[in-house]
Amino acid sequence: MEKATFGAGCFWGIEASFSKIEGVASTTVGYAGGSFKDPTYKDVCSGKTGHAEVVQVEYDPSKVSYEELLRVFWNIHDPTTLNRQGPDIGTQYRSAVFFHNPEQEAAAAASKQKLQSSGRYQKSIETEITPASEFYRAEDYHQQYFEKCGIPH
């Protein structure tokens, strides 16, 4: 199993999208990319911790490639909006790929460049590609939120 970590706005929807992919063993929502130890949801929402809402995906690379996970990532949000997805505004909603090894870094950079060159977006892609930092698991009530609340996705 390998890990991949993505930020693309509110983590509930991101998790729901990745959890449906064959080869994904588990998804966990949490916080990454900040400087505050053991942040809570309230801390992250303050915008003062530097964390992004993320989903950490554990996947079997023999069943799904990292490139396929990147394809899903690019398709589930607007990577041209800085610190915003839909009505959610703040640095915690930024578009980010947190890579776990040099291969993921190279694949993320190549896919970002390919997407930027494709003409799909008129604006510049704002997605950060940065080393995976400490991952803090979000509170239990955030995990598999859509399923718990009966929200179709």
- Active-site annotation, residues: 10
Convert 90-127 into a string of H (helix), E (strand) and C (coil). Answer: CHHHCEEEEECCHHHHHHHHHHHHHHHHCCCCCCCCCC
Q: Say if CB 95 and CB 11 are below 8 A apart.
A: no
Separation CA 53–CA 12 (nearest Å): 9
Task: List C-alpha distances in Å: 55 to 52, 58, 105, 116.
Answer: 10, 10, 17, 23
Q: Say if CB 123 and CB 95 are below 8 A apart.
A: no
